[in-house]
Structure 1
Amino acid sequence: MLKKVAAINDLSGVGRCSLTVAIPILSALKVQCCPFPTAILSSQTNYPEFTFLDFTNEMDKYKEVWNRLKINFDCIYSGFLGSMEQIDIVSKFIKENKTSLVVVDPVMGDNGELYPTFTKEMCNKIKELVKISTLTTPNLTEACILTDKEYHDNYSRDELIEIAKDLSGLGPENIIITGIIEDDNIINLAYNKAKNKSYFTAVKYNNRSYSGTGDIFTSIVCGLLTNNYDLEFAVKTSTNFIYKTINYTSQFNTDRNDGVMFEIFLGDLISI
């Protein structure tokens, strides 16, 4: 039997991000992806125009049907949440599925700034969600928000490990701090609390940025951990996959909002 992941995120018709990357990537990793939409958009929100259908009012009913059907999820994977109410619904869903691996991507900000839709109160709610997760995958900005540290972009590796340890003190067994720029490299730091062990994975940074790469990264990690691969392997696999897709996509004059051409490389994941 394939394992099941409940993937909680928005669905954009155009722009490779959120559920439109989670579904094919988890499927390639031989995991059944069960989408739990938070919103439906014609195109992701960085495009100059998009429609937006808020799914909040349906989310409680959606999960209650799953409960009545007695569907068990091996993993719950939460991405962008746009309101206090959505965070509360996801928190309740996690608590109702006590045996699930819980992956929380605490999407709140980047480059030292909160996203415009986020408030301090919402950040505190996200912190409560992180406390009941098994794995959390913040970028450096989000890691600083969660640990009440002042953001800057020149932390030493020892300081980064201390931030990861502080994050693990909130509750998660595993921490991954993503997208840290170090000289001409981009690094990801993984930390496992039980082993008190950290792993740095670095690749060359080509100064190209595309929408949705964080969603791809976390989806790969989620799928691999659900299938019992270890944290170090999951982070290395995800980092190398993103590096390869960015290098390939950067050969073409595409809109960064379109995301990376990850479809070309799904065979790499299927072969694992």
Structure 2
Amino acid sequence: MECRVLSIQSHVVRGYVGNKSATFPLQVLGFEVDSINSVQFSNHTGYAHWKGQVLTAEELNVLYEGIKLNNVNHYDYVLTGYSRDASFLEMVADIILELKKANPSLVYVCDPVMGDHGVMYVPEVLLPIYKDKVAPLANVLTPNQFEAELLTGRKMKTEKEAIEIMDLLHQMGPETVVLTSTDLPSKHGDQFLVALGSKKMVNPDGTNSIQRIRMDIPKVDAVFVGTGDLFAAMLLAWTHHHPKDLKAACEKTVSVMHHVIKRTITYANEMAGPGKRPNPAQLELRMVQSKADIEDPVIMVEATVL
């Protein structure tokens, strides 16, 4: 059965973020991907220089109208990531609402990219749009700790508080919530970050149940760009292949990340030379080289069922 994804994300000529980070791995795993590029930049903004264009809400609507006029606006999944314009984000929400009317079983995977480590890097006006319009439409939500705290107005210091926050996010609409990274203490020590997942299920007898998992993920001492976009894309793919098993989906997602990052850091360190820190160009994700790992990841991180 053909599975088609509409991915609305940024595009770079050189390197891997946004749609460049999501499209290839999804295609490798058998998905048809239609991409709308919210920006077209020469490279990601972590470089010294970048140039390019930003798609307006009106231009987004024009592209969508073209798809609709040809009656090919039928999608199984929608995937969205970074957006920094309020009218653009509202237009995205309107399009998803319309696509869900056309296909009620459409699954919307939303990475609510707003900031990290206590700092917002999008305009604050986006928060209420995510809260009131976008999150209620999402089936799968992948915030980091800071974004989850922003959406719920609650802080997490313990696993119990993290679970309460995930429950609050479920109440907004999403059946699946994955906290992609948190500062919660890991039983393995400081060199690990903690990810948590929660999935609401309806059992065959009509009763409800919930799956919750925790993953302790080894940290890597480097700044990568595009990993969050890859994470959301892989979670889309692996929850599709394991619709009833959040543990398996998250293990495969995180293991793909592990393989790609490990290959990237090894290459970057070789290119930089002994004792030198790799530059942004050397740290671009080794995506094509990781094709086999994307298709069939060796499980490197086991999830604990809570």
Matched residue of 1:222: which SS? helix
Matched, 1:260 2:266: no
CA-CA distance at 1:13 after TM superposition = 1.2
CA-CA distance at 1:108 after TM superposition = 0.4
Q: What's the counterpart of residue 14 of structure 2?
A: 14
Assess if the C-alpha contact under 8 Å between 1:75 and 1:226 holds in 2: no
Distance 2:222 2:228 in 1: 14
Q: What's the counterpart of residue 252 of structure 2?
A: 237
TM value normalised by structure 1 = 0.92
Distance 1:224 1:239 in 2: 10
Q: What's the counterpart of residue 301 of structure 2?
A: none
CA-CA distance at 1:131 after TM superposition = 1.2
Assess if the C-alpha contact under 8 Å between 2:242 and 2:249 holds in 1: no
Counterpart residue identity of residue 158, structure 1: K
How far does the alpha carbon of each residue in 1:35-82 deviate from its partner, in whole angstroms, 9 at most, with x for none? 011111111112111112111131001111112222210001111112
Matched residue of 1:97: which SS? helix
Q: What's the counterpart of residue 145 of structure 2?
A: 140
Counterpart residue identity of residue 22, structure 1: A
Structure 2 unaligned segments of length 5 or more: list them: 202-208, 273-277, 298-306
Matched, 1:149 2:154: yes
C-alpha RMSD of the superposition: 1.7
Percent sequence identity over matched residues?
Answer: 22
CA-CA distance at 1:248 after TM superposition = 2.4
Distance 2:91 2:242 in 1: 27
Query: What is the count of residue pairs matched by the alignment?
Result: 267
CA-CA distance at 1:188 after TM superposition = 1.6
Matched residue of 2:160: which SS? helix
Distance 1:256 1:188 in 2: 26
Matched residue of 1:63: which SS? helix
Assess if the C-alpha contact under 8 Å between 1:26 and 1:220 holds in 2: yes
Counterpart residue identity of residue 195, structure 2: N
The runs of at least 4 aligned residues of structure 1 exceeding 6 Å deviation read none
Segment of structure 1 superposing worse, 173-182 or 224-233: 224-233
Distance 2:294 2:2 in 1: 16
Counterpart residue identity of residue 81, structure 1: S
Assess if the C-alpha contact under 8 Å between 1:29 and 1:224 holds in 2: no
Q: What's the counterpart of residue 218 of structure 1?
A: 232
Give the alignment partner of residue 115 of structure 2, picking from 100, 109, 126: 109
Distance 1:228 1:77 in 2: 18
Assess if the C-alpha contact under 8 Å between 2:143 and 2:178 holds in 1: yes
Distance 2:242 2:77 in 1: 11
Matched, 1:176 2:178: yes
Matched, 1:200 2:214: yes
Distance 2:96 2:42 in 1: 28
Counterpart residue identity of residue 229, structure 2: D
Q: What's the counterpart of residue 60 of structure 1?
A: 61
